[in-house]
Amino acid sequence: MASTPSPHTTHLHSLISSSTNHNKPSNLSFFHTSSNPSSFKLIHSFSTSFSSTISNVLKTADISLSRDLNGFVSTPKPTILVSEKLGEAGLDLLRSFADVDCSYDLSPQDLCAKISLCDALIVRSGTKVTREVFEAAQGRIKVVGRAGVGIDNVDLQAATEFGCLVVNAPTANTIAAAEHGIALLTSMARNVAQADASMKAGKWLRSKYVGVSLVGKTVAVMGFGKVGSEVARRAKGLGMHVIAHDPYAPADRARAIGVDLVSFEQAIGTADFISLHMPLTPATNKVFNDDTFAKMKKGVRIINVARGGVIDEDALVRALDSGIVAQAALDVFTVEPPPKDSKLVQHENVTVTPHLGASTKEAQEGVAIEIAEAVVGALNGELSATAVNAPMVPPEVLFELAPYVVLAEKLGRLAVQLVTGGSGIQSVKVVYKSARDPDRLDTRLLRAMVTKGIIEPISDTIINLVNADFSAKQKGLRISEERIIVDSSPEYPVESIQVQICNVQSKFASALLENGDISIEGKVKYGIPHLTRVGPFSVDVSLEGNLILCKQVDQPGMIGKVGNILGESNVNVSFMSVGRTVKRKHAIMAIGVEEEPDKDTKKKIGEVSAVEEFVFLKL
């Protein structure tokens, strides 16, 4: 195991892959700025120099998975523990390669007892792969395979710390989940489950179970990803009007199937049915709560085949009791299985299924094959396209790039927060200014970090060096790169990094360039990442804590006014910088703050007469 990582190396650890695939072309492109003779063009598949750099890194890394796996592969037969039911085709594939131990329904203690004898573990959503499991494995376990999409039952941080690769099977159960969503939608609308139960209890209640029709009704699909878009397609086939909310879905993908992308408020305020398909992330945790139920159309019907945690379940019971929500159909729960006396499960207007979304024969066979291939490949030391974490690598390996790695992620994270919800991000450009010869500057790690910064806040996928390009492609996100050679010291790998998000609307119009792209730029100064440009405005603040960007009329006293408001609310200002394009016209202030200002404080800043716009950004 590696020595304790520094904050910088933690980022590196999270990005280093287990091995590299020299054959896999990347979607990376470098573009030429013809006006600038020192820039260069390379429509790129991984360059030889790059591949060998990474490869060498992995070969020399004491704890690289490559090396662990190479060592492991030389042992006669690995052991794979399968802790939940897996399709036979997947099991056959595993058995042809390893000793397979199918032990279902293990207690946490039994799992911990077995794990030190296993090289890989395959689970579904029912097994909690906790830090204790990795501790108990005593370094033997190399791969955890999640036979499905959601990886919220695996402690990814612990897996990464213990050098264990986690892979999932993200595509094989999409249709099954979408079909289950539609099954719940239609059966809920016609009270199928309730009517069935009443008949089995000897009753014949024709007038009690009059349903509602679907044709012409509006369904809001919340989360327009793989499952959401398939649900939308099917709902259109039922004659429904389909709208969707997904701040990060491309509008043209929605348009192609006749779906309007709308804001969260519009979606929940106009829909007759709301179908949930977003991942469980800190941003979506309990996003359906008392406040949001109150904004819904009275009598709305809710379907959840995503994750229980996106709904505040107590609030849903209240909304059902008050009639705001007429019915709910739920496949997933905050705690699974839910308590037997759960008011939600027992509610007469609620239809429930025990997390069956992915449970069709076809999906389970598909998932089993997908995960078996991924686990066997990983045990053979191959690059996995569905890796969701990465093993740790010693800090010295990419020490030089460490502060730039942090800068790249923070710029991505900041840029994505400047996008107005509903805009849909399709194209991102990363511009590196460097004095280095291009062959001596490996930007794949930096690009992966920008990708990580952009995607992680909007997804439950952990982005690393292995899966950054794959994840961007899956989300329809094109990341292009430009390198501009500048006349400075080649001692430093990068002079500046600029992140541009193309053709989107921004919450903070001052971050837009003339061509309509959001643009932010940063540098590393004394080892610390700094924000140095927002749109056309130069600033200089270190990227630590949180940030307020504020555009105001360039006049005396503005720093004091905003500073006072923050001070009165006990918000500590850590850094501050003012930039302007033309004297006495407009300026922007970049203010580093340690705490997030509360609603009132933000309101007061917005009310300062010379403040034209401002935004709070989490780093």
Ligand X SMILES: O=C(O)[C@H](O)COP(=O)(O)O
Ligand Y SMILES: NC(=O)c1ccc[n+]([C@@H]2O[C@H](COP(=O)([O-])OP(=O)(O)OC[C@H]3O[C@@H](n4cnc5c(N)ncnc54)[C@H](O)[C@@H]3O)[C@@H](O)[C@H]2O)c1
Supply the residues annotated as catalytic: 307, 336, 355
Count Cβ atoms below 10 Å from residue 140 Cβ, excluding itself.
17
Nearer Cβ to ligand X, position 161 or 456? Answer: 456
What does the buried/exposed string (b/e) look like for 591-608 if buried means 16 or more CB atoms within 10 Å of the residue's CB?
bbbeeebeeebbebbeeb
Query: Which residue number places its CB atom closest to ligand X?
Result: 148
**Cβ burial 537-565 (10 Å sphere, 16+ → b, else e):** bebbbbbebbbbbbbbebeeebbeebeeb
Q: Which does 536 bind (CB under 5 to 8 A by kind): ligand X, ligand Y, none?
A: none
Residue 246 contact partner, candidates ligand Y, ligand X, none, CB within 5 to 8 A by sort of partner:
ligand Y
The structure tokens 């069935």 sit at 196
Nearer to ligand Y, 235 or 591 (CB): 235
Measured from the CB atom, the residue of 246 and 495 that comes closer to ligand X is: 246
Whole-number minimum distance, CB 330 to ligand X, in Å? 13
Q: Which residue number, 73 or 283, has a Cβ lying nearer to ligand Y? A: 283
Q: How far is CA 166 from the centre of its chain?
A: 15
CB nearer to ligand Y: pick between 278 and 566: 278
- In the chain, helix, strand, coil percent, each to 5? 35, 20, 45
Considering only 359, 360, 538, 581, the residue that binds ligand X (CB under 6 A) is 359
Sign of CA dihedral 194, 196, 201, 205: positive
Name the minimum Å distance from CB 83 to ligand X: 11
| CB of 329 or CB of 407, closer to ligand X | 329
Closest separation between CB of residue 92 and ligand Y, Å? 24
Record the tokens describing residue 503, joined without a space: 């053709």
Look at residues 159, 439, 148, 428 and name the one whose alpha carbon lies nearest to residue 306: 148
The residues of the shown chain that bind ligand Y, judged by CB under 6 A, are: 149-150, 173-174, 177, 222-228, 245-249, 277-280, 283-284, 305-307, 331-332, 355, 357-358, 458-459
Total chain residues near ligand X (CB under 6 A): 12
Q: Which is nearer to ligand Y, 174 or 601 (CB)?
A: 174
d(CA 188, CA 11): 46
Cα first-last separation, the chain: 29
To ligand Y, the closest distance from the beta carbon of 495 in angstroms equals 33
Q: What is the DSSP string of 314-361?
A: HHHHHHHHHTSEEEEEES--SSSSPPTT-HHHH-TTEEE-SS-TT-SH
Cβ of residue 619: shortest distance to ligand Y, in angstroms? 19
CB of 170 to ligand X, least distance (A): 8
> Least distance in Å: CB of 228 to ligand Y?
6
- Select from ligand Y, ligand X, none the partner in contact with residue 248, using the beta carbon and a kind-dependent cut-off of 5 to 8 Å: ligand Y
- DSSP output for 429-462: EEEEEESS-GGG---HHHHHHHHHHHHGGGSSPP
For 451, the token pair is 């990708």
Question: Which does residue 124 bind out of ligand Y, ligand X, none, counting CB within 5 to 8 angstroms by kind?
Answer: ligand X
Region near ligand X per CB under 6 A, out of 13-21, 118-126, 505-513, 534-542: 118-126
Q: Which stretch binds ligand X (CB under 6 A): 51-59, 353-361, 579-587, 611-619?
A: 353-361
Shorter beta-carbon distance to ligand X: residue 470 or 537? 470
Q: Residue 400 corresponds to which tokens in the numbers above?
A: 């030089």
* 422 token code pair: 């509903």
Residue nearest to ligand Y (CB): 225
Give Cβ neighbours of residue 490 (< 8 Å, ≥ 6 apart).
434, 435, 436, 437, 440
CB of 429 to ligand Y, least distance (A): 20
- 222 contacts which partner out of ligand X, ligand Y, none, CB within 5 to 8 A by kind? ligand Y
What residues between 138 and 197 interact with ligand X by CB under 6 A? 147-150, 173
Residue 249 interacts with, from ligand X, ligand Y, none (CB under 5-8 Å by kind): ligand Y
Candidates 120-128, 476-484, 516-524, 560-568: pick the segment binding ligand X (CB under 6 A).
120-128
* Stretch binding ligand X (CB under 6 A), from 119-127, 424-432, 589-597, 609-617: 119-127
- Token pair of 345, please? 């499960």
The residues, ordered by sequence, that sit 6+ positions from 323 with a Cβ below 8 Å of its Cβ are: 298, 299
The answer to whether the CB of 408 falls within 8 A of the CB of 177 is no
Largest CA distance in the chain: 86
What is the token pair recorded at 462?
A: 């952990």
The CB-of-353 to ligand Y minimum distance in angstroms stands at 9
Q: Which residue, 386 or 496, is less far from ligand Y as judged by CB?
A: 386
Place of tokens 């305020």: 269
d(CA 473, CA 477): 6
384 within 8 A of 167, measured Cβ to Cβ: yes
Closest CA to 572 of 558, 589, 591, 600: 591
Residue 465 · residue 17 · CB < 8 Å: yes
Q: Which stretch binds ligand X (CB under 6 A): 4-12, 123-131, 189-197, 309-317?
A: 123-131
Determine which residue in the list 39, 125, 327, 451 makes contact with ligand X, applying CB under 6 A: 125
Which stretch of DSSP H or E encloses residue 145? strand 143-146
Shortest CB 184 distance to ligand Y, Å: 10
Contact 590, 547 (CB under 8 A): yes
Residue 247 vs 366, nearer CB to ligand X? 366
Piece of the chain touching ligand X by CB under 6 A; list 357-365, 376-384, 433-441, 589-597:
357-365
Closest CA to 326 of 304, 302, 306, 346: 302
Cβ-based neighbour number of residue 473 at 10 Å = 14
Q: Closest approach of Cβ 362 to ligand Y, in Å?
A: 13
Would you say 249 or 311 has its CB closer to ligand Y? 249
Indicate whether 358 belongs to the interface with ligand X (CB under 6 A): yes
Strand partners, 479: 428
Scanning 12-20, 181-189, 351-359, 543-551 for contacts with ligand X by CB under 6 A, the matching segment is: 351-359
Contact residues for ligand X (CB under 6 A)? 124-126, 147-150, 173, 355, 357-359
